[in-house]
Structure 1
Amino acid sequence: MNGTILEHINITVRDVDRSTRFLLAALPDWRVRGEGRMDWFGKPITWRHVGGDGFYVALQGGGEGEMTDWRSHRLGPKHVGLVVPSVDAAVARLAAAGYPLDHWGGTSAGRRSVYVIDPDSVQFEFVEYLSDDIGVRNAYDAA
């Protein structure tokens, strides 16, 4: 390994199966890496890891309450960004599975993106890079 990488993010959801369907609809090259049941501070929950060999989204079931609205100023994550080979293909797969896009993100010479909100109100940003040049990809003033 050449440095620090993000291995996983843990998201509490209401329904692990429903969230798994969402992720696999958007990302057909991902898979369920592992799953199980456990007691989470007095409440039985289901958990599942969905991703690839070196990374995953940890889904933890039994969620309660409401997710932070991405437009608010409340603390907490606003979205999860995932790189895909084609934003258009991801949008088409999600639409076919019943998940409409929320809004298009920025487009620049180096990237374009779209935001989709899953059934538990978790916002995902799907990013397609249009250049292999890191400087072009990361030209934030052009976004």
Structure 2
Amino acid sequence: MPTATLEHVNITVSDIDRTTRMLERIFGWHLRWKGPSINNGQTAHVGTDSSYIALYSPGETDAPNQITYNTQGGLNHVGVIVDDLAAAERRILDAGFVTHSHQTYNPGSRFYFHDYDNVEYEVLSYA
């Protein structure tokens, strides 16, 4: 059977431009596409040439009111591999976010942070 490849995930955000700038600054990604979307919303694809995060905003969003780990089908976190974990953490801290849950394990190291919309990112390195 051929191996499948994850192309993208789609996340609702409150401010597409702000989240796009954050992902570009922290991970070195680029805006692949931006345009109109369902329900008079807007979508932006931010990532690399082979994979991305689709950011969706209908204009006004509801604030999250529960922990996603307790919600069936909830998004728990987005895992991003980086070459230099310390450099990535410096960019995240410089952007004003708080990192937490640092851990080194076999085969790598990781930490987490929450963005403007409380989306959790796991940043990890196998280097």
TM-score tier, shorter chain, comes to: 0.7 to 0.9
How far residue 100 of structure 1 moved from its aligned partner, in angstroms, is 2.0
Query: Would you say how many aligned residue pairs link Structure 1 and Structure 2?
Result: 123
Q: Would the aligned equivalents of 1:14 and 1:61 in 2 still touch at CA under 8 Å?
A: yes
Residue 86 (structure 1) aligns with: 84
Could you tell me the percent identity over the aligned residues? 33
TM-score normalised by length of structure 1: 0.78
TM-score normalised by length of structure 2: 0.87
Q: Which sections of structure 1, spanning at least 5 residues, go unmatched?
A: 131-143
SS at match of 1:78: coil
The one-letter amino acid of 2:6's match is L
Residue 4 (structure 1) aligns with: 4
SS at match of 2:91: helix
Q: Which sections of structure 2, spanning at least 5 residues, go unmatched?
A: none
Distance in 2, Cα, partners of 1:69 & 1:85? 30
Give per-residue Cα distances to partners, 1:70-93, cap 9 Å, x unaligned: 5x4222111000101111111101
Equivalent residue runs for 1:1-143 within 5 Å:
3-28=3-28, 30-38=29-37, 40-41=38-39, 44-62=40-58, 63-66=61-64, 68-70=66-68, 72-75=69-72, 76-101=74-99, 103-130=100-127
Distance in 1, Cα, partners of 2:102 & 2:5? 24
The one-letter amino acid of 2:116's match is P
SS at match of 1:124: strand
